[in-house]
Amino acid sequence: MTGGLGPTKDDVTKKTLADYFDSPMSFHQETYDRMAAYFARIGRKMPDAAVIQATLPDKAVLLPNKVGSAPGMWFERDGKVFISLPGVPFEMQYLMQEEALPRLSARFPGSPIEHRTLRTAGEGESAIAKRIETFEDNLPANIKLAYLPSLGQVRLRLTGTWNDAIIPPNAQAVLREQLNAKAAELHALLPDLVYGTGEDTLEQVVGDLLRKQNLQFGTAESCTGGYVAHLITSVPGASDYFPGSIVSYSNDMKMNLLGVQADTLAQFGAVSAETVREMVAGALNTLQADIALAISGIAGPDGGTPEKPVGTVWIAVGNRDRIVTIKQVFARDRAKNIQLSGVYGLNAVRKFLLGQL
């Protein structure tokens, strides 16, 4: 469980667990000292309420929190384990990875398990499932496939376990080899959709391609308002290949910063193939880039027309020799439209770099 370990009156988890396990609570000096060191490290005065956070159930095995204040707690009763972690996401993740999972593995040793994850962009889970139906139907009994969708992307996770009661010493290696083969087979079925594996991100993969091809990449963004630039620059070392972005939200900025022609805007509108093509050409020149991405759309909730409803987005990617345009119609939710535009735009850049677009 997560949350409720702080010093305020609404933090009831610790007291509830102490009551449930009939455990008295005592001041824990080691926890207090660690909290004092933590606040000193981040340059903040330790609050008086830290004494409350350092008062802990005697029956708990404490999980030291090196990235925050409240420790995690581990209780056992009748062969069952109860784990209480802080609710702050990065603190919870740290304790889960560094303390909870290793202790659980030692406490409940089980059969081997292996995962392989392929990351895809550009199609929904239903379309993917149709393409790989035969593959999924023919998976061995000890391998399962999970579809884990997010906006514009789907993670395909293969999980292998050991079915036999007797587990040989080489079971993990056998599973690993089996899953590697199945992951390669799945990848071959979706060559246009798979962009990475494991913890890869689309922006990281695009960055690696740009670095490998020694190219400079720029963006010209309208409806996304710099969201693609944010994604690109979230990757360490992005300055190697990303000189900058032009957020040309108004028509005046499209004309003044990117050289989009007034006639183009008057005849076709800001959300059009013609406009994003000129935005790419302008970005290539202004940013001195080798490849550029342009996005213009109607994020909503207002501004749509019968011809161009909310969610209509035009994407263009290209270099000085060739520019490709793509039209998408997304949802009616503004935040989703912006995020989907970013994902589809970056995926278009990836495919362009690979010669798939």
Q: What does 61-91 look like in DSSP terms, one character per residue?
A: EEE--TTSSSPEEEEEETTEEEEEB-SSHHH
Which string of DSSP letters, residue by residue, matches 235-256? STTGGGT--EEEE--SHHHHHH
pLDDT in tens, 126-147: 999 999 999 999 999 999 999 9
pLDDT-based confidence at 53, cuts 50/70/90? confident
Does residue 167 register a pLDDT over 80? no
What's the pTM? 0.82
Q: What is the mean pLDDT of residues 60-88?
A: 94
CA geometry: angle 13, 105, 141, nearest 5 deg: 115
Average pLDDT for residues 53-65, to the nearest whole number? 93
Tell me what pLDDT residue 210 has: 98
What's the pLDDT band for 223 if we cut at 50, 70, 90?
very high
Model confidence at 175, pLDDT cuts 50, 70, 90, reads: very high
Confidence (pLDDT) at 272: 98
Q: Which of 3-12, 14-23, 253-262, 274-283 has the lowest mean pLDDT?
A: 3-12
SS (H, E, C) 266-328: HHHCCCCHHHHHHHHHHHHHHCCCCEEEEEEECCCCCCCCCCCCCCEEEEEEECCCCEEEEEE
pLDDT at 315 > cutoff 90: yes
Interatomic CA distance for residues 206 and 318, integer angstroms: 14
pLDDT confidence tier of residue 162, bands split at 50, 70 and 90: confident
pLDDT tier at 51 (50, 70, 90 boundaries)?
confident
- 202-353 folds as Maf protein (3.90.950)
% the chain with pLDDT above 70: 100
What pLDDT score was predicted for residue 238? 98
Please determine, for residue 111, whether its predicted confidence score (pLDDT) is greater than 90: no
Residue type, 74: W
Is the pLDDT higher at 350 or at 106?
350
| Mean pLDDT score of the chain | 95
β-pairing, 72-77 vs 61-63, is antiparallel
Which residue spans of the chain are classified as CATH 3.40.980.10? 13-107
| Cis before 47 (ω within 30) | no
Q: Which of the four pLDDT bands, split at 50, 70 and 90, describes residue 169?
A: confident
Assigned CATH topology for domain 113-197: Alpha-Beta Plaits (3.30.70)
Beta bridge partners of 293: 219, 317
Say yes or no to pLDDT of 319 above 90: yes
- What three-state secondary structure class fits 150? strand
Beta bridge partners of residue 329, listed in sequence order? 312
* Predicted local confidence at residue 246, as pLDDT: 98
pLDDT of residue 128: 97
CA–chain centroid gap for 287, Å, is: 28
| Six token digits for residue 207 | 């960055």
> Tell me, what's the pLDDT at 298?
96
| pLDDT level of residue 109 (50, 70, 90 thresholds) | confident
Confidence of residue 69 (pLDDT cuts 50, 70, 90): confident
H runs (alpha helix) in 132-272: 133-137, 171-189, 202-212, 227-233, 251-258, 262-268
CATH classification code of 13-107: 3.40.980.10
- 35 pLDDT tier (thresholds 50, 70, 90): confident
What residues pair up with 197 in beta bridges, in sequence order? 118
pLDDT of residue 108: 87
pLDDT (mean) for 109-125 = 92
CB count in 10 Å sphere of residue 52: 16
